[in-house]
Structure 1
Amino acid sequence: MDMSSEPDDSGGHCSTADSDGEVAEEIAIVSFERKLETAREIEAELADRYASIDILEYHGEIFEEYWGEYDCFVGLMASGIAMRKTAHLLDDKWEDPAICVVDEELTWAIPITGGHHGANQVAQDLATMGAVPAMTTASEAAGKQGVESRAKAMDTHVVNGDSTVKTNLAVLDENLGPVARLEGPRAVLVGDDVTVLKRNADDGIVLGTGSVSGASKEAFLAAWDQALARTDYGVGDVEFVGTATRKEDEDGLLEAAQERDLGVVVFDKETLLEHEGPTPSKSKELIGWPGVSEASAIAGGAEQELVLEKISYENEVTVAIGR
């Protein structure tokens, strides 16, 4: 996800119903009696990823009975059943619960409604049990990060939901532009094609992270722990992990971030050069990029200042902390 800290074109790449940003916290697994064992397996696998997971035995009015009480229903059933039993309940995509169906063999996880508001998230989690996430939301189908996904990565929520139709079209056309970070007090006038994201926490830190190619998940986790141990902050204080666009496909980084439930925000070269840190980096001489860890920590922080300058772990991963 690109993000700029300035309101110009130079930058880079469950809660309330109208502000999820792809977050689901309270889940209900709806299952026929004969499939309850599978439902319990799903509950056990996903238990530590959600605030609560309940198992509801299916009957004809089960969705109507519990509509609005959960962020997402996981239907352990044919998609046609879930569609017919919920169609008359659907009203507003920002307020309706998400629905994801999965077959008994855990072959497919299919978001039906609320893809950006929990169903895609649940489908991806079910992939750890072998299910293939069949996501059809346009941005995800094209392999791009929609605005709601960006909001989740940055620990923010969408304020004006209707705007995402236009901004997600811009994502598909690759002309959305940077996410401008504005700190107040300030008044901002926007049009209906500008999506406004509001931070979920008043303050927090950014784990600026660089690495050699192919660094392992374990190296990233150890590096972050080592860096945090040198401060008064913990994992719970982290807003997101910041890195460079050239590192956005590092498997170890993405796996480590997923394990810690952290979003990853990537910055383009121009943004990082504008926020270069104090520690010299050989990469600037070799390829023209500044040190990724310090620059992304500074660029991502609300105050744009370093809490911890770059440290290195096993010559694989570098970490700096910004706020």
Structure 2
Amino acid sequence: MSTDTDDDTTDSGSCKAPDSDGEVAEEIAIVAFERKMDTAEEIVEGIGDRYESIEILEYRGDVFEEHWGEYDCFVGLMASGIAMRKTAHLLDDKWDDPAICVVDEELTWAIPITGGHHGANQVADDLASMGAVPAMTTASEAADKQGVEKQAKALDAHVVNGDSTVATNLAVLDDELGPIERLDGPKAVLVGDDVTVLERNKDQGVVLGTGSVSGAKKSQFLEAWGRALDEADREWDDVEFVATGTRKEDEEGLLEAAAEKDLGLVSLAKEDLERFEGPTPSRSKELIGWPGIAEASAIAAGSEHELVLEKISHDDAVTVAVGG
């Protein structure tokens, strides 16, 4: 979340997409003083390829007002006080306002000040790849939890009813939300204001259920996924996201591989996986009490809760199953 007073219980589609509450910044602008243009160019060089467009605007007193609504996120290469004073009167609605993230000239700190879950946290995370420390103040990030907006991003979906996320993200913080339920239509659904509805951004595809040994490398994940897709007669474009168990969600090689393929990563708790155990025996059940992560996560996260491909092992390091 951002430092907005009513945003303290929510997490991080385009910010201005017509039916999206906006979890992702796609078009950003760096606002910089003339003397800081070299740093602005450095930012473009460092993270520009992660966005549909990235532009540099020279700072002047009315620059934010002049370009308000043109970008998903402003990156203010300036003191946070300047950005706050120059944009405070423009802020109207957290679902529609552009996000704002400020960063200092030395790229030491990246501070989301508004729209944390609507692009500013994302930009701060990207600036971390250039050495900046993301100073997140949103509740879910502070608690190291994945709020519903971030889950939507991982699922390549967007939040339809933004006001509901206050209640559902409180449930995330209290470990009471549980897994996202998938519902296939045609159906009519009646929900309350404490139910967050996610809508898909593209047609249904397949899920790569993935387990691994500790320390598995990025290349091993990518090779395992490619082999599994070949055997399932699927392409990379058919993949919705990667699913794994919470005990594997911080594997560096897994995160790097998912990022390289621009795939979201969804992690499922042990009790959720136990409802969807796969047909192939797994030693993890005997050793640590977890069901086989690859098959269980593929089945649990797939739209039909079915296996397209039973698990395969690669290099004795990564296991992959394909779910649909």
Give TM-score, length-normalised by structure 2: 0.91
Q: State the SS of the aligned residue for 2:128.
A: helix
| Aligned match of 2:125 | 124
Q: State the SS of the aligned residue for 2:313.
A: strand
Q: State the SS of the aligned residue for 1:176.
A: coil
| Aligned match of 2:242 | 241
Structure 1 pair 273–311 and aligned structure 2 pair: CA distance change class (3 A): same
Structure 1 unaligned blocks of 5 or more: 1-13
Give 1:273 deviation, angstroms: 2.9
Across the aligned residues of Structure 1 and Structure 2, the Cα RMSD in angstroms comes to 1.6
Give 1:271 deviation, angstroms: 2.8
Q: How does 1:24-103 map to 2 (within 5 A)?
A: 24-103=25-104
**Per-residue deviation, residues 237-291 of structure 1 (Å, max 9, x unmatched):** 3211111122122222122222322221122233323322232222223333322
1:263 paired to 2:264 = yes
Q: Name the aligned partner's letter for residue 246 of structure 1.
A: R
Q: State the SS of the aligned residue for 2:166.
A: helix
Q: State the SS of the aligned residue for 1:129.
A: coil
Q: Name the aligned partner's letter for residue 110 of structure 2.
A: A
Q: State the SS of the aligned residue for 1:303.
A: coil
Q: Name the aligned partner's letter for residue 237 of structure 1.
A: D
Aligned counterparts of 1:305 and 1:260: Cα–Cα separation in 2? 23
| Aligned match of 1:9 | none
**Per-residue deviation, residues 189-226 of structure 1 (Å, max 9, x unmatched):** 21111111111112111111011122122221222222
Aligned counterparts of 1:217 and 1:43: Cα–Cα separation in 2? 26
| Aligned match of 1:145 | 146
Tell me whether 229-238 or 60-69 shows the greater mean CA deviation: 229-238
Q: State the SS of the aligned residue for 2:129.
A: helix
Give 1:20 deviation, angstroms: 4.5
Q: Name the aligned partner's letter for residue 41 of structure 2.
A: R
Give 1:28 deviation, angstroms: 0.7
| Aligned match of 1:298 | 299
Aligned counterparts of 2:270 and 2:144: Cα–Cα separation in 1? 22
| Aligned match of 1:309 | 310
Give TM-score, length-normalised by structure 1: 0.91
| Aligned match of 1:6 | none
| Aligned match of 1:11 | none
**For the Cα contact (< 8 Å) 2:21–2:161, is it kept in 1?**
no
**For the Cα contact (< 8 Å) 2:168–2:194, is it kept in 1?**
yes
**For the Cα contact (< 8 Å) 2:152–2:198, is it kept in 1?**
yes
Aligned counterparts of 2:68 and 2:45: Cα–Cα separation in 1? 23
Structure 1 pair 39–140 and aligned structure 2 pair: CA distance change class (3 A): same
Q: State the SS of the aligned residue for 1:189.
A: coil
Give 1:114 deviation, angstroms: 0.4
Q: Name the aligned partner's letter for residue 55 of structure 1.
A: I
**Per-residue deviation, residues 98-117 of structure 1 (Å, max 9, x unmatched):** 00010010000000100000
Q: How many residues get paired?
A: 310
| Aligned match of 1:251 | 252
Aligned counterparts of 1:267 and 1:173: Cα–Cα separation in 2? 16
Aligned counterparts of 1:27 and 1:272: Cα–Cα separation in 2? 38
| Aligned match of 2:289 | 288
**For the Cα contact (< 8 Å) 1:205–1:237, is it kept in 2?**
yes
| Aligned match of 2:10 | none
Q: State the SS of the aligned residue for 2:211.
A: strand
- Tell me which stretches of 4 or more aligned residues in structure 1 moved more than 6 Å: none
Aligned counterparts of 2:61 and 2:263: Cα–Cα separation in 1? 38
| Aligned match of 1:169 | 170
Tell me whether 25-34 or 126-135 shows the greater mean CA deviation: 25-34
Q: State the SS of the aligned residue for 2:101.
A: strand
| Aligned match of 1:5 | none
Aligned counterparts of 2:143 and 2:306: Cα–Cα separation in 1? 36
Give 1:232 deviation, angstroms: 4.0
The percent identity for this pair of structures is 76
| Aligned match of 1:7 | none
**For the Cα contact (< 8 Å) 1:111–1:134, is it kept in 2?**
yes
Q: How does 1:214-225 map to 2 (within 5 A)?
A: 214-225=215-226
Aligned counterparts of 2:312 and 2:29: Cα–Cα separation in 1? 43
Structure 1 pair 165–18 and aligned structure 2 pair: CA distance change class (3 A): farther
